[in-house]
Each structure stands twice: as C-alpha cells, then as structure tokens.
Structure 1
Amino acid sequence: MTSPVRALWAAPAAAPAPPRRVWRDWALVAAIAVLAPLEALLRPEVPWRWLWAALLVALSATLLWRRVRPLAMLAIAFTIGTGFGLATAGEPQLYTTAYFLVLLYSLFRWGSGRAIVVGGLLVVTGILLSLVSSPAPADIIGGIAVAVATGTLGVAFRWRSRARARELDQARLAERMQLARDLHDTVAHHVSAIAIQAQAGALVAATDQQATIGVFQAIETEASRTLREMRAMVGVLRADAAVLAPTPSLGDLSSLATTAPPEVAVRVQGEADAVPAAVAATVFRIAQEAVTNARRHARDARRVAVDVRVDADAVLVEVRDDGVAAASAVPGFGIRGMQERAALLGGSCVAGPAAEGGWLVTASLPKAGWSA
C-alpha cells in the first residue's frame, strides 16, 4: 500500500470518544417507524413497498449503535438492503431509505481508518451491484456523488472537532504556563524575602533584640503579602471576570523598595499613567523577578537599583545589583519567564553579568498596540 493509504488504514477512531446514544437517535428511530409505513401507504406505485417499509423499520435499530459500531451497523444495513434489492430485482424506491446516509456519515465521522476503508469499499460495491437492476449511468453517478458528499461531510466534522480539541489543549497549556509564571513571580518573590529575613534573624538574635523584632515584623509582612497574593490567584481561578483582582501597575513598583540588605531602590521616569495595563503588569513582574533573583543569588550584594523609563514608544526596564555575578550562570525558570513575558508583548529581555560588575537585567517593551 502507498503511504497515504497506509496512513489512512492505521488511523485511529475519532477522539474524543463519541456518546453511546442520545435522545436524537431514539427520535430518529421513532420517526422512521412512522414515516416508512406512511410512505408505503401513500405510494402504491412502488413495488414491494410494504416489505421495504418493514425492512427499513427493522434496520433503523442500527442507528442506535452507529457511533460506537459504525462499520458493523453500516455493513448490516447496506448488505441486507442490497441483498433484498437484488432478490426483488428492484431498488428501494422509498425515500425513507435516505437514513442509510446517516450510517455512512457516522462511519467517516467516528470510525477508524480501517473501518472507513472497508466501509467505503462496501458502499461502492453495493452501488455497482445496483447496475444489475438499474443500468442507467445517471443513477450510478448520482449515487456515488451522494455517497462521496456524505463521507466528505463526516470527514469535515471530524477534522473540525480535532482542531477544536487541539485549540483547547493549547489554551490549557497556555493557562498552565501563565499560572506557573505568576506563581514563580509572586509567591517565590515573597518566600525568598522571608528566607533572607530568617537568615538575618538567626545572625542578630543573640546580640540585638530590637533588630530581631524588626526581622520578625518583616517576615510577618512578607508572609501576609504572600497569603494575600495566593488568595488573589485562587480568586482569579474561581471567580467571574467581574470580580478579578486588579493587575499590577507601575505604581506597585514602590512595594519592591526596601532598606533591608540588600537595599532596593526604585525609580520611575516618564508618564507612568500613559503605560497600557498589559505593559505595566509585565514591567512589574519583570522587575519583581529581577529583584528576587538579585536577593537570592547575588553574592555580597548591597544594593539593587530598579530604573524604569517611560518613553513615547516603549518602556525600558533596568535592574542592576552590585554583587558578584557568576559569568557561567545557567538561566533558570525566572529568566525564562521574564523573556517569555517580554516576548508576548513584542519586546525583549536580556539578563547577564554587567561589564562593570554585578548582574544586569534589561527589558524593552513597546507601548504601541496595547490599550490602557
């Protein structure tokens, strides 16, 4: 077999799995049970009409398993229908026979590749056998055209469903990545501050009681902030859009400033109110992560400077510490998260050792294309 045929033969059944049966299936079977005898009554010119009506009513039960056993149900209906037509030397001229197309549609919509190939050959064979009773070329061409159109419709809905499933998977992955970034940028920042304060408290506990009290107060403040942000994130996940917590702004950068070693100084230049909300939130998260990394990894750092400059077209962020930076440091999730946040807005973010010493994080985020 050629590659396309081999690929079709090995194709799995449609995913996600179809429902076994729904109320529409029962309604369709009930409708056929009424329409087939009614059509036989109203069309006395059709030969063997009552036998055809009884056969169609009996075969309508295949509709109940058309999704879970599409090939078997199609084979039952088409084989019996074709055999009865050959035995009576006539085609099933009742319009109710059209429900066989539902079985064909189900095969292409839900069946595996192997079932589609076998079922397609079965339908084509049935159409060709009808040449025995109706050799008119127009009838054969019409039957093939209807079968091809029905199969194409089933394939179209199958691919549309698969595309939507892929879009949902991508959306879930994007949400997970966003949640991971938020957790890293918010909770990790405060937990790092708590760890640093706890280390400082262990050093001064035996010699300076007042400093120890200050350390405990700082730990309490950071823990409270962590709890508030965790609750806010849980609220975002559980609440409606109308009650979502506000996103960080450039005004929130002041919360990063601290006099505890290493000292963090924040400076914002330009019109902060003119920065779109999406850009302002990204600026805050990048600065927050850069400060966290400096407090956690910059050895012997005494000062961290956060400079934000708002220009006409972009927002420039620079976070620099005066510690000893390792030139061969391997980028972790924090740096990757900053770069991803900047890239989502069409900007850039670079982190690495500064030429004059320390560690430097720079980011450029365009203002254009984002509403405030």
Structure 2
Amino acid sequence: MDTVRRSIWHEPRPVGALPIGRLDWLLAGVFAAAAVVEGIVRPGLVWRPLVTLLALGLVPALLWRRTRPLSAALIGWGVVSLLSVLQLTTDAGDLGLYSMMAVLILLYSLMRWGSGREMVLGTAFVTAVVALGMYVAAAGWADVFGGSVLLLLFVALAAVFRYRADLWHRQKREIRNEERVALARELHDTVAHHVSAIAVQAQAGGVVAGLQPEKAAEVLAAIESEASRTLAEMRSMVRVLRDEETVAYAPQLGVADLPALARADTTPVVEVSLDGALTGLPPSVDTALYRLAQESLTNAVRHARSATRVGIDVRREGAAVRLRVSDDGQTDAGSTPEPGYGLQGMAERAQLLGGALSAGPAPAGGWVVEAVLPVEARA
C-alpha cells in the first residue's frame, strides 16, 4: 500500500510513456465536430466565431491529455477562464458551448496520469477557474453544490482507475521478482553442480596424470563433457530471458534422470537408489526432487571432508515422496554450520510445494539432507 501511495503522489509519469493513440484522435475529432456544429446552429450565441475558435483550442489539449496532463488541463481550463473573463468585462450573455464540458475529461486525465506536483498545480488552477465561473454566473448554493459534486466525481473516478493501474504494475513487479529468485535458484543448482564436478575431475586429473598418464585423456573428456552441459543449460536459460526469440523448451529433468548422477569411478562414489511408484509425479514435484538431489550432491562433493560415498535415495511413502542424500564424511561433534544460500533455496523450494526439508549431521557420522514432498503439490 505504501508503494502504491508513493507512486500516486510522488513519482512523475514519463512524457513518452503513453503515446497519442487512436482513442485520443477519435475523441478530439468528435469534440471538434460537435463544437463547430454547436457554434453554427446554437441560437443566441454571442460572438459566435470567437467562441467557436476558442472552443477548438481544446483539440490539442485532448490529444495531450495523457502525455502532458498538466499542459492539457491548463490549456482547456484556461480557455474556460478566458471566456469567463470576457463575459465579466463585457457584460455579455453566456459565451460557453455545451461541448466545452470536455474540460472535465482533462480534469480526469490530470488526476489519472499526472505526477503529484502536476496534480497539486492543476487542481489549484481548476479550483480558481471554477470559482471565477460561478461568480460570473452568480450561481446559487444548489449550483455550487452540484458543480462541486460533479468535479469530485471525475476526480474520484480517476483516482480509482489510477490506483488499480498502480496496483497491477506492483503485482507485475512482484511476479518478476519471484521469477528472478527462481532463476537464481536454477542457476545456482545447475551451475554449482557442474562446476563442482569439473573441479573434482580436475583434482583427480592431477593425480592420474602423474600415476596413470594413459587415463588423463578420460579425465579431460569428462571435464569437457561437464563444461559443455553447463554451457548448454546456461545458454538455454539466457534464451528464455530474450523476448524477441522463440525458445524451444527442453523437458525439465526429473526423478528418472537421477541415475545419471551416479558415479562409480570417482571419489566420493555416488550411488542412486529409487524405490516405489515414482512415475506420474506432478512436474513441479518431479523437477524439485531432481534439483534438491543435485544440490545436495553438490554440497557433499564440495564440503564433505574425507567422504568416500554419497547416497541418493528416493522412495514413495504413501501420499508423499521422501528424498534422502547422505555421505560418510567427517563432521565435528556438536557443530551445526550456518545454512548458506544453497540450503535456504532448497528449503524454500520444498516449502513452496507444501513439503519440508531438513539438513544436519547424522548420528553415525556424515551429513544427511532429507526432503519430504507431497505427491499432490500445492499450486
């Protein structure tokens, strides 16, 4: 609410943000035709050519009502004030045209698209013009009340539509923020996993090159493969962000892709076990299980001290699916490290689906990450 209020009263509207559209041209054309016809056929109109010409001065104001709301209001209501001054100084009859009620549209536009400063200045000018017009017309209390209610009605209508538009823009910003957080999580999960695998292979390559030079080529091939997958996934995400390109979306990785994470020729060894009816899961749950397992494996490879084995176990338990990732690394008794961005992102991912995630040292040693997600995920 505070954001919307600041937007209404303080943030200016860019001049070029709302170009002159067909509706503006149509409105200006209809008004010009009505003013000319009324100026010709209305009986008893004093100074007919001058009044008609002044009325046509509202045409540019109607065209600028959204791009330059203050200028449009000053022009339109300035014409009204000029006619009131002429009527007062010459003691002539009514010099106004009924079609000039279009100045109410300019008041609406001022409150709808003007900045806070423009609204204050424009409202003060309109109030002075209205007071002058009522004085010239010797309006009674009933006319003053009715005219004020009409003006306030247009102001209230503009405020309602402005509030709804600002609220809509705020919701769009919130959706974009959520999308950025989701993208950051995906980048972290994907890139961190592959880069960690590259680092492990490179470390192993240094040892293998000295002891078994013939296997160095295999290590380099594994590094090249991981780097290529990382680049491919990053390029896919970047293409999603480019509106001008049509992206062919690849299917999201899921539980069925977890066996590809298994490694028997590295340290630590990675074992994957799938149990129960794990097919037909909702896409959100299926993808989340893979990403949680991938991130947990990345953390184990990077942080588990002296770990020789990492186990990934996924099993169906009634209306839920349990993921357990454990390693046999060394942990300090009684110490619980502060959760980093990875663990926080994993917990948020599980909570968004109505599940829960826990992470901590295992009683028998090592580190365990467990996530329980409902099969029928929260929308």
Alignment TM-score, normalising by the size of structure 1: 0.87
CA contact (8 A) 2:293 2:325 kept: yes
Aligned partner (choices 311, 315, 321) of residue 315 of structure 1: 321
Aligned to 1:265: 271
CA contact (8 A) 1:294 1:321 kept: yes
Aligned pairs for 1:119-158 within 5 A = 119-132=122-135, 133-158=137-162
Aligned partner (choices 353, 357, 370) of residue 365 of structure 2: 357
Aligned partner (choices 175, 181, 197) of residue 179 of structure 2: 175
> Which whole-Å CA distance do the structure 2 matches of 1:206 and 1:14 have between them?
67
Aligned pairs for 1:16-31 within 5 A = 18-19=17-18, 21-22=20-21, 24-31=23-30
Indicate how the Cα distance of structure 1 residues 26 and 8 shifts in structure 2: closer, same or farther if over 3 A, else same: closer
Deviation at 1:79, TM superposition (A): 3.6
More deviation in 108-117 or 244-253?
Answer: 108-117
More deviation in 182-191 or 16-25?
Answer: 16-25
Aligned to 1:81: 80
More deviation in 300-309 or 105-114?
Answer: 105-114
Question: SS in structure 1 opposite 2:17?
Answer: coil
Aligned pairs for 1:34-73 within 5 A = 34-73=33-72
Question: SS in structure 2 opposite 1:281?
Answer: helix
Amino-acid identity (%): 42
Aligned partner (choices 297, 300, 305) of residue 303 of structure 2: 297
CA contact (8 A) 2:55 2:100 kept: yes
Question: SS in structure 2 opposite 1:225?
Answer: helix
Indicate how the Cα distance of structure 1 residues 154 and 231 shifts in structure 2: closer, same or farther if over 3 A, else same: same
CA contact (8 A) 1:14 1:109 kept: no
Indicate how the Cα distance of structure 1 residues 204 and 148 shifts in structure 2: closer, same or farther if over 3 A, else same: same
Deviations 1:102-134 (A, max 9, x none): 211121112222332332233333333333315
Query: What value does the CA root-mean-square deviation take over the aligned residues?
Result: 2.8
> Which whole-Å CA distance do the structure 2 matches of 1:366 and 1:178 have between them?
20
Indicate how the Cα distance of structure 1 residues 90 and 321 shifts in structure 2: closer, same or farther if over 3 A, else same: farther
Deviations 1:50-87 (A, max 9, x none): 43222111243333443454334323432441342353
Aligned partner (choices 263, 273, 276) of residue 282 of structure 2: 276
More deviation in 12-21 or 279-288?
Answer: 12-21
Deviations 1:338-359 (A, max 9, x none): 1121121121212222232111
Aligned partner (choices 107, 110, 120) of residue 110 of structure 2: 107
Question: SS in structure 2 opposite 1:44?
Answer: coil
Deviations 1:246-275 (A, max 9, x none): 011211111111111101111112101142
Deviations 1:149-190 (A, max 9, x none): 222222223222222222222222222222211111112211
Deviations 1:292-314 (A, max 9, x none): 11011111000011111212221
Aligned partner (choices 208, 212, 234) of residue 204 of structure 1: 208
Aligned to 2:198: 194
Alignment TM-score, normalising by the size of structure 2: 0.86
CA contact (8 A) 1:264 1:305 kept: yes
Indicate how the Cα distance of structure 1 residues 202 and 7 shifts in structure 2: closer, same or farther if over 3 A, else same: closer
> Which whole-Å CA distance do the structure 2 matches of 1:92 and 1:145 have between them?
23
> Which whole-Å CA distance do the structure 2 matches of 1:67 and 1:269 have between them?
63
Q: Where do 5+ consecutive residues of structure 1 fail to align?
A: 1-5
Deviation at 1:23, TM superposition (A): 5.1
Q: Where do 5+ consecutive residues of structure 2 fail to align?
A: none
Indicate how the Cα distance of structure 1 residues 357 and 9 shifts in structure 2: closer, same or farther if over 3 A, else same: closer
Q: Are residues 1:335 and 2:343 paired? A: yes
CA contact (8 A) 1:14 1:158 kept: no
Aligned to 2:252: 247
Question: SS in structure 2 opposite 1:62?
Answer: helix
Aligned to 1:116: 119
Question: SS in structure 2 opposite 1:360?
Answer: strand
Indicate how the Cα distance of structure 1 residues 148 and 348 shifts in structure 2: closer, same or farther if over 3 A, else same: same
CA contact (8 A) 2:7 2:166 kept: no
> Which whole-Å CA distance do the structure 1 matches of 2:7 and 2:198 have between them?
58
CA contact (8 A) 1:127 1:140 kept: no
Aligned to 1:233: 237
Aligned to 1:3: none
Aligned partner (choices 282, 285, 288) of residue 294 of structure 2: 288
More deviation in 350-359 or 310-319?
Answer: 350-359
Matched AA of 1:146: L
More deviation in 350-359 or 96-105?
Answer: 350-359
Matched AA of 2:196: S
Question: SS in structure 1 opposite 2:338?
Answer: coil
Deviations 1:321-353 (A, max 9, x none): 111235343322211221121121121212222
> Which whole-Å CA distance do the structure 2 matches of 1:193 and 1:114 have between them?
58
Matched AA of 2:373: L
Question: SS in structure 1 opposite 2:181?
Answer: helix
Matched AA of 1:366: P
Indicate how the Cα distance of structure 1 residues 348 and 205 shifts in structure 2: closer, same or farther if over 3 A, else same: same
Q: Are residues 1:222 and 2:226 paired? A: yes
Matched AA of 2:261: L
CA contact (8 A) 1:124 1:144 kept: no
> Which whole-Å CA distance do the structure 1 matches of 2:207 and 2:199 have between them?
13
